[in-house]
A and B are shown apart, each in its own frame.
Chain A
Amino acid sequence: MLTLHQAGLTTTPSIAPLDGTIRPGELLAIVGPNGAGKSTLLSMLSGFRRAEQGELRLDGKPLNEWPIAELANRRALVAQQELPGFDWQTDELLSLGSNPAKSLVAALLDDLDLTHLAKRSVLSLSGGERQRVMIARGACQLLSRGSPTAKDGGLLLLDEPTSALDIGQQQRLMRQLRAWAEQHRIAIVCVLHDLNLASTYADRVWLLHQGERIDHGLPNQVLNPQIIADIYGAELQHIEGRRHGKPLLALMP
């Protein structure tokens, strides 16, 4: 469990101080327009950028007091698309940073529809395939640690995990993230651009604008068409999802 107490960054790109709790088993979406500070906030949550105000605590212990190697057992980060150095084989890349059992690697490859690519070199994959490999690696890092506590499976931070995926793979990934969160009690934080994905799959949403969290709560509260249209500068129409009751936003022509 990660808790924030007036945590913020003062140097640009800055983040206004915020409070919050990210609980095991939930999927939190961070949304907001370009340059709102989503990736910066994620970087702060991961501890890569240290909070300059306030404090973050992971499992009750201040984030910057965790030894870096132990912290790696408790939280993983999948940054925005970055080419790995050199030409790794997919299943080798999955094992970087942890010492996973073969069965775990196989299960994760299967979860993300990558089994047929296990022996391919990563640089020969398509953008979407590579993105799924990097997400599987992040999950592998969390799930391969020695003795997972039943109550709290750690924290998985994903920066725009669906940016290179087609809609079928987007659905598959988001469902898989939900499944991981529930089965392994992992807290998952996703930076998302697609508000409808956030609405459909997230438990809670943080809405960021100009480095400040201007709203947070349940998706159907936060993703208010009026406010969204305002801060994104977009003309939208609101569609009530008929079968699942989740609000959807569509662009006006």
Chain B
Amino acid sequence: MIAILNAYRFRARLPINRAVRVLVGLTAALLLALGWSAASGALGISPWGLLSGQADPLSVQVWWQLRLPRLLLGVAVGAMLAGSGAAMQGLFRNPLADPTLLGLASGAGLFVAVWIVLFQDSGAGSLYGQFAAGFLGALCVCLIVFGIAKRQGGGSAAVMTLLLAGLAINTLAGAGGGVLAFIASDEQLRQLSLWGMGTLTNALWRTTALALVLIAIALWLLMRSARELDLLQLGESTAHAAGLDAARLKRRVVVATSLGVGLCVALTGVIGFLGLLVPHCLRLWLGPGHRLLLPASMLGGALLLVVADTLARTVAAPAEIPVGLLTSLLGGPYFLYLLMRRNRAC
């Protein structure tokens, strides 16, 4: 959080006071949400009890081993999805772009499904395997998409090609998922469908810690691209003359996004619409400049996912609703509303 604020402060020449107010406000809201989330759940644990050491050992165990990693994973995944949504929208100069659009999420999802159905054993390595599969899936999609785009050369044709390649990959991944569901055992099918709906239940320290580090790197790469994403909005040839290396920018954003999103999908399944909803709302409020929009989206995404996840695990406690269902129920109608309203350009 501090790193994000600092990264912003060093390059700002914008209305700095407003930017700081916005980021501090969002951070405060996120901390409040985390406090609320930490205290609520199937097992009520008061933060004061934890701090003063008066809580019983079971509660302490549950809090440290289950709830804390889950909170941190929620923050990381929310920030990653919304941040990469904002970056993708900037890259495609289109407010409807989203990591799922490029096929990254579904490609990662397909690989994870393949892992679950064909390779998973019940050993301790299974979570790491899932993790690696998602990572690999997003990377493959990334390489395929870029291989196709490279042949087309630069210009707006390349962007169109990227979008179409994403569409093809989404279709392919959907079909592949269908085949896997067909051959899966009942147990695997249940696991697949639960994971596919998107949930933060899998948060364990051993995977979360690694995910946090990798996601932090991906977020840092995106933050470094903010000024260049601003420049890209001038159009490719004008931006080139204004000092932008568009090829390098594309490479960096797509690699950061695919790694981060691949990780998120492997750990939590597909949590939809976060990458579309959060940057879009924030852009209406803050304007299109990425130096503010990117960190604000990351904070906003984390906030939204933490709140949604807390609701998901408390509304029907002790049962748990997959948080992906909640975000899709929120985001789907909003997306339709956007499409219906969107008659003017951009």
Contact = CB atoms under 8 A, between A and B. Distances in A.
B52 to A, nearest CB: 50
A82 B242 contact: no
B243 interface: yes
Interface string B86-129: 00001001110000000000000000000000000000000000
Q: For chain A, give the interface size range.
A: 20 to 34
Given A86-B288, A87-B288, A92-B289, A48 B240 contact: yes
A84 B244 CA distance: 15
B238 A86 contact: no
A86 B242 contact: no
A123 B234 CA distance: 13
Given A99-B13, A123-B345, A79 B90 contact: no
Contact of B238 (A77, A88, A99): A77
A150 interface: no
B345 A83 contact: yes
B235 interface: yes
Interface stretch (A29-37, A68-76, A171-179, A211-219): A68-76
Contacts of A157: 241
Contacts of B233: 84-86, 88, 96
A96 B232 CA distance: 9
Given A68-B244, A85-B93, A86-B95, A96 B346 contact: no
Nearest to B248: A68
Nearest to A67: B243
Given A85-B232, A86-B283, A86-B288, A97 B239 contact: yes
B241 to A, nearest CB: 3
Interface string A132-148: 00100110010000000
Given A86-B283, A96-B231, A68 B245 contact: yes
Contacts of B234: 82, 84, 96-97, 137
Given A84-B235, A86-B95, A141 B345 contact: no
B158 to A, nearest CB: 14
A128 B308 CA distance: 47
A53 interface: no
A157 B163 CA distance: 32
B342 to A, nearest CB: 13
B90 A85 contact: yes
A162 interface: no
A82 B345 CA distance: 12
Contacts of A89: 287
Nearest to B94: A85
Nearest to B90: A85
Given A96-B230, A96-B231, A82 B346 contact: no
Interface string A8-36: 00000000000000000000000000000
A43 interface: yes
A231 to B, nearest CB: 27
Nearest to A155: B241
Contact of A46 (B94, B232, B237, B287): B237
A95 B94 CA distance: 21
A186 interface: no
Contacts of A76: 241-242
Interface of B: 13, 90, 93-95, 230-235, 237-245, 283, 287-289, 344-346
25 contacts: A43-B237, A46-B241, A48-B237, A48-B240, A48-B241, A71-B243, A75-B241, A76-B241, A77-B238, A79-B238, A84-B233, A85-B232, A86-B233, A87-B287, A88-B288, A92-B287, A95-B13, A96-B233, A96-B242, A97-B242, A99-B13, A123-B345, A134-B238, A137-B234, A141-B241
Given A96-B242, A97-B242, A123-B346, 17 more contacts: A48-B241, A69-B243, A72-B243, A76-B242, A77-B238, A77-B242, A82-B235, A82-B238, A86-B93, A86-B233, A86-B288, A87-B288, A92-B287, A97-B239, A123-B345, A137-B234, A141-B242
Interface of A: 43, 46-48, 68-69, 71-73, 75-79, 82-89, 92, 95-99, 123, 134, 137-138, 141, 157
Closest A-B pairs by Cβ, 7 of them: A72-B243, A85-B93, A97-B242, A77-B241, A86-B288, A85-B233, A82-B235
